[in-house]
Amino acid sequence: MLTLAQVKAHLKLDLADSQEDDLLGIYLSTAVATFEHTSKKRFPAEDEPTEPLPVGVTTVPVFVDPTVLSPREQLMGVQWVLLTLGHWYENRATVAVGLNVTEVPHTAKMLMNLLREPTL
C-alpha cells in the first residue's frame, strides 16, 4: 500500500527525520481503515488477485473478491488516503479559532463517491 517514505514525501517532510514517524503511522493506519470502512472495499493483500485471468491462461477459475479494489480503484484509494492524511496532519485539533477555511472542491469526497459501494 503506502510506505512511511511516501507519506512523508506527500507531506513534504524530511525523510531522514523520524521524530513524527509514530504519529504518521497512526494517521496512515487510521486513514486506510476509514477508507475501507466508508468505501466498503479493501486494499488487496499481497499477491491477491484483483482481476480475473484472461480466458485460456489457466484452467482453474480465479475468484476475485468483489470487495477488493481493482488496480484503477487502488490508485484513487491511495489518493484519498493521502488527501485525508494531509488534512489530519495539518489540522490536529477538532476546532480552529480565527481561521478562514475553504474546502477544496472535488477532492477526497469526489474520490469516495466514485469508489463507495452504494447502500440501500
Predicted TM-score of the model (pTM) = 0.82
CA 40, 43, 47, 49 dihedral sign is positive
Residue 55 belongs to a domain: no
Give the residue-averaged pLDDT of 114-120: 79
pLDDT given at position 60:
63
User: Which of the 8 DSSP states describes residue 1?
Assistant: -
Please give the C-alpha separations between residue 95 and each of 16, 31, 36, 49, 98, in angstroms, as whole numbers.
31, 19, 26, 42, 10
- Domain count within the chain: 1
C-alpha dihedral, 106 to 95 to 35 to 45, nearest 10°: 130
Domain range holding 10? 4-49+62-115
Residue 120 belongs to a domain: no
Residue 56 belongs to a domain: no
The CATH number of the domain holding residue 79 is: 1.10.3230
pLDDT over threshold 90, residue 107:
no
The predicted-structure confidence for 45-81, as pLDDT tens digits, reads as follows 998 888 877 766 655 666 788 899 999 999 999 999 9
pLDDT over threshold 90, residue 10:
yes
Q: Which residues contact 119 (CB under 8 A, 6 or more apart)?
A: 40
Residue 111 belongs to a domain: yes
pLDDT given at position 105:
66
Q: For the ranges 17-31, 35-49, 59-73, which has the lowest average pLDDT? A: 59-73
